[in-house]
Amino acid sequence: MKLSPCKLALDKDCADLWVINTHELVPYQGRLHSFLDGEERQKLQRFTNLEAKATFLYSRGLLRFLTSCYTGSEPQKVRISTGNHGKPYIEEAENFFFNLSHSGGLLAYLFAGYPVGLDIEDSRRKIELEPIMKRFFSLTEIESWKKFSAANEKLSFFRGWTRKEAFLKATGEGISGLSHSTVSFEPNQRKALTSRFGKNDENEFWFFYDLQMPEFFVGSAVIKHKELALRQRSLLEI
């Protein structure tokens, strides 16, 4: 792995999923730093927490590198903009969509020719499930969680949580959409959006994926298109 310039192409029938352990990137910190633009370098210097600083460097530097491979631009010159709720996008790239997530030392990126959302979580986090469910999920979702949590209620919780996060990242709503979007906690449910604004007419447009993740991690992806194959990619390829 050299993180040298490369060419990647999106397949109309696939979405590319990259999952990287940040430990793999430690030898490439200087290279990743060189990919950042001036504003990002200034932001990096303002971090006082070393772990958060490293996560920003790895996630942003690698995003620029991978995006440059798909678009043909130089990493430093990729114009990454953000929507009203912080959703990143590339201004000049037509029909090019991506999303990213990080948790517990893992980075994940999803690239496709259609709107996408992605969320991963480390299930070892110490959290109180019941209070979070009551605060952020509807009664319908709580019932779904209880119905499909017999094997492992914590993993079931993160399945629903990552689905909802991924969907709201795909739409660009962020947390403002928590109250009007409802998801199912059923495993391997492609049509996991059960309602939005009290209606189910958008269900047919969104396809959900339970990701195969390293131990203790849970991840979900959503794509606004027909059901696609998820193509697992590795930095060892480039």
pLDDT band at 4, cuts 50/70/90?
Answer: confident
- C-alpha angle with apex 181: 175 to 183, nearest 5 degrees? 110
Residue 154 and residue 129 in contact, taking contact as beta carbons nearer than 8 Å = yes
Q: So what CATH class is 14-119+229-237?
A: alpha beta
Pairing status of strand 229-233 against strand 14-21: parallel
Instruction: Tell me the domain boundaries of the chain.
Output: 14-119+229-237, 122-209
Residue 171 and residue 230 in contact, taking contact as beta carbons nearer than 8 Å = no
Order of strands, sheet of 14-21, starting from the edge strand that comes earlier in the sequence: 97-103, 106-112, 14-21, 229-233
Residue 107 and residue 100 in contact, taking contact as beta carbons nearer than 8 Å = yes
**Is the pLDDT at 170 greater than 90, yes or no?**
yes
pLDDT tens-digit profile of 26-54? 999 999 999 999 999 999 999 999 999 99
pLDDT band at 198, cuts 50/70/90?
Answer: confident
Q: What is the mean pLDDT of the chain?
A: 93
Q: Please compute the mean of the pLDDT values over residues 112-128 and round it to a whole number.
A: 94
pLDDT band at 5, cuts 50/70/90?
Answer: confident
pLDDT at residue 207 in the model: 96
pTM, two decimals, is 0.94
**Is the pLDDT at 141 greater than 80, yes or no?**
yes
Say which DSSP state 95 is in: T
pLDDT at residue 106 in the model: 97
d(Cα 204, Cα 218) in Å, to the nearest integer? 24
pLDDT at residue 159 in the model: 97
Query: Helix, strand, or coil here: 49?
Result: coil
d(Cα 69, Cα 237) in Å, to the nearest integer? 12
pLDDT band at 97, cuts 50/70/90?
Answer: very high
- Please give the structure tokens belonging to residue 179: 């109250």
